[in-house]
Amino acid sequence: MSDISIAFIALIAVNFGIKLWLNFRQASHVARHCALVPVAFNDAITLEAHQKAAAYTLAKTRLANVGLVIDTSWLLLLSLGGGINLIYVAAAGLTGQPTGLLTGLCFLLALGVLSSIVDLPLSLYKQFVLEERFGFNRMTPGLFITDLLRNALVSLVIALPLLSLILWLLDLATPLSWLWAWMGWMAFNALLLFIYPVVIAPLFNKFTPMPESEHKQKLDALLSRCGFSAAGLFVMDGSRRSAHANAYFTGFGNNRRIVLFDTLISQLSPEQLEAVLAHEIGHYQRKHLQKRLVLMAGVSLVLLWTLFQLLNAPWFYADLGVDYANPATALALFSLTMPLCLLPLTPLSNALSRKHEYEADAYAAEHSNAQQLIAALVTMYRENAATLTPDAMYSLFHDSHPPAALRVQHLAQLQA
C-alpha cells in the first residue's frame, strides 16, 4: 500500500472521527439540558415540548451515526475496495466501448443509481419511522415512491447535458478546458435558479397565490414599502409530506417569489407572518443570494481547476484504488473525496450563512416588528421540535442558522 493510500485512509478516519465526535457532543449536550427549559423560552415553550425536541434531536443524531458508518463504508468500497472499477467495467461492457463519452455517462449514471439505493433504507426509516414517531410524517408510501421516481427523472434530465458538457471539455484537455467547464457550470446554475420556481418545484408541490384578504393586503403593503417586486406570494402545500413549517425566498428576475408553507400559515398569527415575510425580504434586499452565488462561483472555479490538474496524475487513480484513468472516473473520485478535504471549511460557510440570517433579522426588526419575529421563531422552534440547547461545536459544523438563544437575544437587543 502506497503512502498516498495510507494518507487517504487516514483522511477518511479523521473525517469519520470528527463527525462522530461532533454527534456525541450534540447528543450529550442535549441530554444534559433536557430537564429544564432555557430561561429565555420559559413563557412560550413547555417542558413537555422541550423534552420532545430533545428526544427528536437524539433520535436524529443516532440515525446520523448509522448514516455516517454507511457513507464511510460506501466510500471505501467504491475507492480502495474496487467498486468504481467494477461499475466502470460494467458500463464499458454495456456500451461496447472501453472509453468515450457514452461509457462515461453510463458509468456516472450507474454510480448515482447505486448510491441512491444505498441511501434508500435510511431515507425510508427516517420518513416512516422516525418522523412518524414524533408526529411529523404525513407522506404516504405512494407519494414517497412518486417523489423518488420524479427526483430520478428530473436528476437525469438535468445531469445528462451538464455531465456531457463537462466530460467532453475535460476529455479535450486543452489548457483552458477547466475554465470553459466552469463557465458552463455557472451558466447552468443560473438557468436552474431561474427555472426552478416555475418548472421544477411545481413537479413536487402545489403553489397557489395567497388568496386576497385583508391580511394579504397588509403583506402586499409590506412588499411595496420594502420595494420588493416579485411574481407574488405563494402558499406551498408542505402539509402533504410533513408537519414541519418553513418559508423561503427563491428565484431571480421575473421568477422571483416568496413561498410560505401552508403549515406555517396555520401556526402563526398575521403579525408574526408579516415579520417572517419581512425577514425573507431582508435576504433579497441585502443581496444574500447574489453573495452566495459569487462564493459558489469562486469555490467551483478552484475545484474545477484542481480536478483538471488531477486528470493526468497517475497516483490520483492508482493510489485511490481505481484502474481506469479518464474524465468520468476522475470526476467520480473527485466528487467522493473532495468533501473530506472541505470539512474544515464548513464552519466558515455556516458563519457566512448565520451572518446573513442576522442581517435579515435586523431588516425585519427595522421594517416590521422584532417582538413578533421572536414570537414567530419561538413558535417555529416549538412546532418543528428544534432543540433550544445545541452543542456549540456541533452547531458550528451543522447549523446554517444561529442557535435559538443567540438569535432571540440578537432580536431582543435590536428591539431595545
- Residues acting as catalytic residues: 280, 361
Could you tell me if 285 and 256 are in contact, meaning their C-beta atoms sit under 8 angstroms apart? Answer: no
Residue 247 pairs with which residues in a beta bridge?
Answer: 260
Instruction: Give, in order, the Cα–Cα distances in Å from 163 to each of 2, 156, 332.
Output: 31, 10, 11
Taking the C-alpha atoms of residue 63 and residue 52, their distance in angstroms, rounded to an integer, is 17
Closest by CA to 275, choosing from 126, 375, 188, is: 375
Q: What is the 3-state secondary structure (H, E, C) of the chain?
A: CCHHHHHHHHHHHHHHHHHHHHHHHHHHHHHHCCCCCCHHHCCCCCHHHHHHHHHHHHHHHHHHHHHHHHHHHHHHHHCCCCHHHHHHHHHHHHHCCCCCHHHHHHHHHHHHHHHHHHHHHHHHHHHHHHHHHCCCECCCHHHHHHHHHHHHHHHHHHHHHHHHHHHHHHHHCCCCHHHHHHHHHHHHHHHHHHHHHHHHHHHCCCEEECCCCHHHHHHHHHHHHCCCCCCCEEEECHHHCECCCCEEEECCHHHCEEEEEHHHHHHCCHHHHHHHHHHHHHHHHCCHHHHHHHHHHHHHHHHHHHHHHHCCCHHHHHCCCCCCCCHHHHHHHHHHHHHHHHHHHHHHHHHHHHHHHHHHHHHHHHHCCHHHHHHHHHHHHHHCCCCCCCCHHHHHHHCCCCCHHHHHHHHHHHHC
